[in-house]
Structure 1
Amino acid sequence: MATVENLPSPETERPIGFGRLKRKEDERFIRGQGTYLDDIELPGMVHGAILRSPYAHAKIVSIDTSEALAHPNVAAVVTAKDLETLGLAWMPTISYDTQAVLAGDKVRFQGQEVAFVIATDPYSAQDALRLIDVDYEPLPAVVNARKALDPDAPLIRDDKTGQTDNVASPTWEAGDEAATDRAFAEADTVVSREMIYPRCHPAPLETCGIIADFNPETGQLDIYNGNQAPHAHRTVYAHVAGLAEHMIRIRCNDIGGGFGNKVPVYPGYVCAIAGSIVAGVPVKWVENRTENLTSTGFARDYIMRGEICSKDGKITGLRVDAIADHGAFDSTAQPTRFPAGFFHICCGSYDLAAAHVKVKAVYTNKAPGGVAYRCSFRITEGVYMVERMVDALAMEMGTDPIDLRMRSFIAPEQFPYETTTGWTYDSGEYAKTMKVAMEIAGYEDLRREQAEKRARGELMGIGVSFFTEGVGAGPRKHMDILGLSMNDGADLRVHPSGKAVVSISAQTQGQGHETTFAQIVAEELGIPPEDVEVRHGDTDKSPYGLGTYGSRSMPVSGGAVAVVSRKVRDKARLIAATMLEARPEDLAWEKGRWYVKGDPEQGAMIEEIAERAYSGEAMPAGMEGGLDGQVIYDPPNLTYPYGAYIAVVDIDPETAQVTVRRFIAVDDCGVRINPMVVDGQIHGGLAEGVGIALMELISFDEEGNCLNSSFMDYLIPTALECPDFELGETVTPCPHHPLGAKGVGESPNVGSPPAIVNAVIDALHETHGVDHIDMPCNPARVWAAMQGRPEPPQ
């Protein structure tokens, strides 16, 4: 039986694994031997396609499916009326809202699901969509979150009893408003800015899809689906479809990128499941790129007004009022008690006297979502806000932005540090990390170079950001999703030959779990990592957990693997004591071996202990045979990685093209299990940050038409837009994590956009008077700012 473990390790037991080990999984990937959803074909499988609304807001007067049903290859056409008979017309969201599986009364965003066609092949399914006749009555649409709050704005969620406006949830607050007011009253400098973190999209290489295979004879539902939280999905499907949870099996196989886009349960999944239950054959549905960009979980869309103040050269207060655009349904993914996610970490890395944060969620006629794309439950938005505000304050004070940060950082001796908005940061040496970044960048030389270029009429900017991130959700006393605690499990079995299998709750989408988690077992037990198999992504073969997002793999599942490995090692000690005819307390451990203290020649290797555990030889009294263990790890707190980033940009004065010439990233993610994997995560996140800062945007016209529905008009960065990233590190171990690790997957996407935007403004402020530009800083928007006509993206 699993036991709940909440065990901080001794400071002496913080292994770093085997260092820069090549990823085990890459052998199959580089040979084209990965198994993705679209590689799977099942006997008798049929294919689904979704008819989507061309309108952002319209009543559905009628739906005529007769011509589609007459198509020789069409097996069924499913509408909302059909789902109503199954009780599946609406489904719950992660944020305790409801979402239409197929629109029946009206459509609420362009691209919303209206009908589901099942055909013998995907081409016939697509052809049949054109044969469905839907009579729409267009309604006024609202895509601007500010305008959605107007008294005369069209009501989007008239399906909800008592809903009279477009407010998605009550205003959520954090911090002390009265203390913040006092800090501002006593300040000698106050600055305010309005800014938008615009809608962007994770755009994973592999889009979303599912194969649902229901066996009517056994009642077993097998699902093949590349999602980031297979156990949570299984629980949701059990509730939605009314099936026994133990009769649902989800297998994820390899996933072609997730970035938060594959956390939600989408209507297409439910339609495929319903179709398979009714038809009794496997149903496969895979969306195309336009469907992915226009209907699945987006990122950001935060409108923020910030005020920041200082006294005697030090930052003292922050006030933030934000509007969160959730689209037509509130399907954001975050812990239940945090409706605005972790946005209130926007007090940043600074020792503030007070801060106060307000967030209001709003419905608009746009696709639902919000928490995706390495956003770490809205920390990305919070860090962007505070780091832009710090630069604005430094500009107003006429001081160097790094100097202001240095004077305002939380000092090492203040940790653990309780922020003014309720977080308990565990550890940090912020000034040290900032100095490492400055040294790598040659900061003083850069400022001299900038002055020389300005004298020649060239536009060069230097931007800085410093972030603290809270990851590893989370402690069950504080955090759950849909009532499910955010703990992760780990099962470990060492076979008689000394080879091992560890099963984990986390679900990889390219992070390198099969290597990194094997290294943890290897370090703890002395078994070579190539002899450790890591199992994941199969709900029948892995322990329950809430999946991979919010940089929780290493902080939570990694902690579970470390704890279960030590549990097995402790059992091995008792067995070794029997083998060596010694007391357990008289044994000492060296990697892979227990030996007798004072007589190191007398010892037993882990392989020998494993063989003994399965043999017919005597075991310690009362101990069962075998060498295995099982734990559920409940982290005592989040972990708090942090970093210092410096961006150097050049702007063409004639075209307004921004080029990121250098980017320095110094991350402190605690102990690094595999530095090569960490560097890869940072490189990927920085590239995404370049894209968000300079080119990525999901925008709409006034009628709600999405203007960025393909890679022709939704631009993503390539190697040509990215510099050779210059990485550094400091190591401040997390004091409560079993390995001292903190997580790093989302950090580069948290810190890079504000650094780049700050650099753009630094290049243009003195010469063109620019004090703010909303992302993306593409040539058209930068040119408008240079002409004194900056406009927000909405």
Structure 2
Amino acid sequence: MTTSTPMGFGRMHRKEDARFIRGRGQYVDDVQLPGMLHGAILRSPHAHARILSVDTSAAEALPGVKAVITGETLAGLGLAWMPTLSKDVQAVLATDKVRFQGQEVAFVVAEDRYIARDALELIEVDYEPLPSVIDARTALAEAAPVIRDDLDGKKDNHIFDWEAGDRAHTEAIFERAEVRVSQDMLYPRVHPAPLETCGALADFDKVTGKLTVWCPTQAPHAHRTLYAMVAGLPEHKIRVISPDIGGGFGGKVGIYPGYVCAIVGSIVTGKPVKWMEDRSENLMSTAFARDYHMTGEIAATQDGRVQAIRVKVLADHGAFNGTAQPTKFPAGFFHVFSGSYDIETAHCEVTGVYSNKAPGGVAYACSFRITEAVYLVERLMDVLAYELGMDPAELRMKNLLRADQFPYTSPTGWEYDSGDYPRTLALAMEMAGYDKLRAEQAERRANGDRRLMGIGLSFFTEAVGAGPRKHMDILGLGMADGAELRVHPTGKAVLRVSCQSQGQGHETTFAQIVAEELGISPDDVDVVHGDTDQTPFGLGTYGSRSTPVSGAAAAMVTRKVRDRAKLVASAMLEVAPDDLEWTKGRWSVKGDPKHGATIQEIALASHGAVELPEGVEGHLDATCVYNPPNLTYPFGAYICVVDVDPDTGQVDVRRFIAVDDCGVRINPMIVEGQIHGGLADGIGMALMQLMAFDEDGNHLGASFMDYLLPTAVECPSWELGETVTPSPHHPIGAKGVGESATVGSPAAVVNAVLDALKPYGIRHADMPLTPSNVWRAIQGRPIRTDLAIT
């Protein structure tokens, strides 16, 4: 039987793009229901203030307003607080006080969104302003106002202390080290800023007791469980539908108060209620990322052999600890901070604090804080190279883990699965023409060229595919993913998965996995996701879980179907199952390859009258729950070349070479697209993105005029390379790639800029390296991280 496209892995156009390029995608705001009402949220203008009173009478009297819901209303229903993903609690609508600018205070339900917005202006709230805590470094001061005084006995802004590694051994190494370098650095607060903002459409049917929620969530099944916890509704009566999603990047993992308010609005009014936030609301109130103050130290020998690393981190988690990461790791996977290097020992301490900023700490295009860890160690490696007068590439090559050391257990207990790190760095240097670049740089400096040339490197190891469930959970929900596969009588297949696409191309990639394992065309496989009534339970998509976990589940469930097909084929061909052998798409008799049956023929027979062996059920379908035995560890080597104008501080990224190893590549075109996006993201974080606040907690980056994002103008033509080191424990050897480029690229860009500024004796400067901040560094002035545009 012929197929319309090649089977299995390789380049193929994305199946989902046919609807997207025609404008036929369906997003939450496209969903229209009969009698639908609209919601709007009143947000606090203060970062910290007591609520003395809320008067909603004028808003309620406005024609077209159907309900005004306050924190007091929710408290009466037992819905005033909701759990966060870090087992904290967050106010749905503020009752006692507001704790960040933009916090939700009241929710209006009206006939249309314009009336709802007009009604917000009529709500009168009497606030008593309080001092704000904006800098995490002052949050633990004795005089600091207590933000979470709603928590019994809470007398400070401390959340947690956490550590990893061997403190005593690390201190001993530092005491006798020949060389010690230390650097304070900030990874500033940034925001996912997806194209589509957050929103929800809730429809509660009072007759059936069924609640349906359309929501652009990255974790539909986790949302269903959380809604059951918050609203007290039976979980089997809740359906969460995530249609097409216009980007998530970690910011659409958790639940937001607007989602709960839409649900309550529907319950109260008996009508469907839609709430969609605008861009300013999204930037002000949805989950941020980063905001880590870090002090890192390296102990090394005089010839550049790194012996130990130690780190102290102060993590700003905002007004509520809503960080999306496994329960066991309050600081995320930051303790992968020893990076890609053969280091004897390491130790890190992380302290989490509350502040008067929006809550969160999402896995924004990184696997639970690994971006911060990689940035830290890669900046430290350049600081050490600066101190020793060594070339940064030579220093890295001297310390990289070797292929024969894998599987490698890091000083903090993580087992890296596979890799050949020196080969990957060597390829990046070859593609860049590294020696020629250094020669060009030396010549330009000798000639007094006013344009400053910089060359920056970074090498990263990422840990992705959150699981296994015995070690990792969110709110007690283990990080395993389900998959279901059904092959119809005509040989067409439907795969149902628990992960959720936000543009990664799951409908193509997962179809290719089934095609490769079953020997049919990807065109003959439909992938269903984003509907809790139609898919098996799983923890969703973030931290590059899709291919490492759900992709593995897809492969395993397909193998189950293939094994069932073998039993059906044995009955069809009247031979013992052990007498059959598999060639792609076909079971045939060993030694007689012409005597066999294709999957399509077997599928038809499994639904027909063929007499099956005793105990063998008909039909070709199977289910699978995949519990990964370990994380997977993609890695890469990046080289960035910049030109800096010392008169203006303008940075131009001239070249960017990225060599990634994500194991087996299912669809290279999709992999490359993911890398392109992540590299652009990294340039944005290094050079322009900053969630800034003034001393009163006013948010200074609530629009794209203030919170700057990279465009094609700021990005070069990416130069991509690859090495392939399969993961030994993943069923198809894939490791995941969706976040790798964002993990590795910021450090490469910053290292390049600081390499350009080396003649000025500048060893470090904090992101974002905007023109103003680069100019200030050259002038010996402090970097500004309290302004959105600098």
TM over 0.5: yes
Corresponding residue of 1:739: 732
Query: Per-residue displacement from partner, 1:578-616 (whole Å, max 9, x unpaired)?
Result: 111111111111110011111111110100000000002
CA distance in 2, matches of 1:198, 1:689: 13
Corresponding residue of 2:771: 779
**Alignment of 1:726 onto 2:716:** no
The answer to whether the 8 Å contact 1:663/1:726 transfers is yes
Q: Tell me, what secondary structure is at the counterpart of 2:159?
A: strand
Going from structure 1 to structure 2, the CA distance change for 1:620 and 1:542 (only over 3 Å counts) comes to same
Corresponding residue of 1:45: 36
Selected match of 1:640 from 633, 648, 658: 633
The answer to whether the 8 Å contact 2:7/2:521 transfers is no
Corresponding residue of 1:466: 459
Selected match of 2:166 from 168, 176, 188: 176
Query: Per-residue displacement from partner, 1:163-205 (whole Å, max 9, x unpaired)?
Result: 1100122x10000001101111221111000000001100000
Selected match of 2:756 from 763, 770, 774: 763
Selected match of 1:131 from 122, 130, 149: 122
**Alignment of 1:561 onto 2:522:** no
CA distance in 2, matches of 1:646, 1:386: 16
Q: Tell me, what secondary structure is at the counterpart of 1:28?
A: helix
Query: Per-residue displacement from partner, 1:204-241 (whole Å, max 9, x unpaired)?
Result: 00000000000011100001011000000000000110
1:18: Cα distance to partner? 2.8
Query: Per-residue displacement from partner, 1:342-369 (whole Å, max 9, x unpaired)?
Result: 0010000011111000000000000001
Corresponding residue of 1:278: 268
Matches within 5 A, 1:25-64: 25-64=16-55
1:477: Cα distance to partner? 1.6
Corresponding residue of 1:303: 293
CA distance in 1, matches of 2:363, 2:484: 29
Corresponding residue of 1:142: 133
1:790: Cα distance to partner? 2.9
Query: Per-residue displacement from partner, 1:648-686 (whole Å, max 9, x unpaired)?
Result: 000012111001110000000000000000000000000
The answer to whether the 8 Å contact 1:202/1:372 transfers is no
1:792: Cα distance to partner? 5.4
Unaligned runs of 5+ in 1: 1-14
**Alignment of 1:530 onto 2:523:** yes
Query: Per-residue displacement from partner, 1:519-574 (whole Å, max 9, x unpaired)?
Result: 00000111100000000000000000000000000000000000000110011111
Corresponding residue of 1:3: none
Amino acid at match of 2:72: K
Selected match of 2:708 from 702, 712, 715: 715
**Alignment of 1:691 onto 2:684:** yes
CA distance in 1, matches of 2:740, 2:511: 23
1:389: Cα distance to partner? 0.3
Query: Per-residue displacement from partner, 1:48-84 (whole Å, max 9, x unpaired)?
Result: 0000000000011111111101100111111111001
CA distance in 1, matches of 2:7, 2:326: 30
* Identity score, percent: 67
The answer to whether the 8 Å contact 2:8/2:519 transfers is no
CA distance in 1, matches of 2:176, 2:487: 63
Q: Tell me, what secondary structure is at the counterpart of 1:719?
A: coil
TM-score by length of 1: 0.97
Corresponding residue of 1:489: 482
The answer to whether the 8 Å contact 2:174/2:180 transfers is yes
Amino acid at match of 2:575: A
1:376: Cα distance to partner? 1.0
Corresponding residue of 2:403: 412
CA distance in 1, matches of 2:471, 2:100: 34
CA distance in 1, matches of 2:102, 2:556: 46
CA distance in 2, matches of 1:352, 1:440: 28
Corresponding residue of 1:608: 601
**Alignment of 1:19 onto 2:24:** no
**Equivalent residue pairs, number:** 778
Query: Per-residue displacement from partner, 1:102-128 (whole Å, max 9, x unpaired)?
Result: 011110000000000000000000000
The answer to whether the 8 Å contact 1:16/1:673 transfers is no
1:372: Cα distance to partner? 3.4
The answer to whether the 8 Å contact 1:196/1:792 transfers is no
**Alignment of 1:793 onto 2:785:** yes
Q: Provide the alpha-carbon RMSD of the alignment.
A: 1.0
Matches within 5 A, 1:146-165: 146-165=137-156
The answer to whether the 8 Å contact 1:298/1:372 transfers is no
Query: Per-residue displacement from partner, 1:718-752 (whole Å, max 9, x unpaired)?
Result: 00000000000000000000000000000000000
TM-score by length of 2: 0.98
Amino acid at match of 1:180: T
CA distance in 2, matches of 1:128, 1:153: 36
1:373: Cα distance to partner? 2.1
Selected match of 2:184 from 194, 208, 212: 194
Corresponding residue of 2:3: none
CA distance in 2, matches of 1:658, 1:205: 26
The answer to whether the 8 Å contact 2:194/2:249 transfers is yes
Corresponding residue of 1:379: 370
**Alignment of 1:578 onto 2:571:** yes
The answer to whether the 8 Å contact 1:297/1:372 transfers is no
Amino acid at match of 2:397: M
Corresponding residue of 2:655: 662
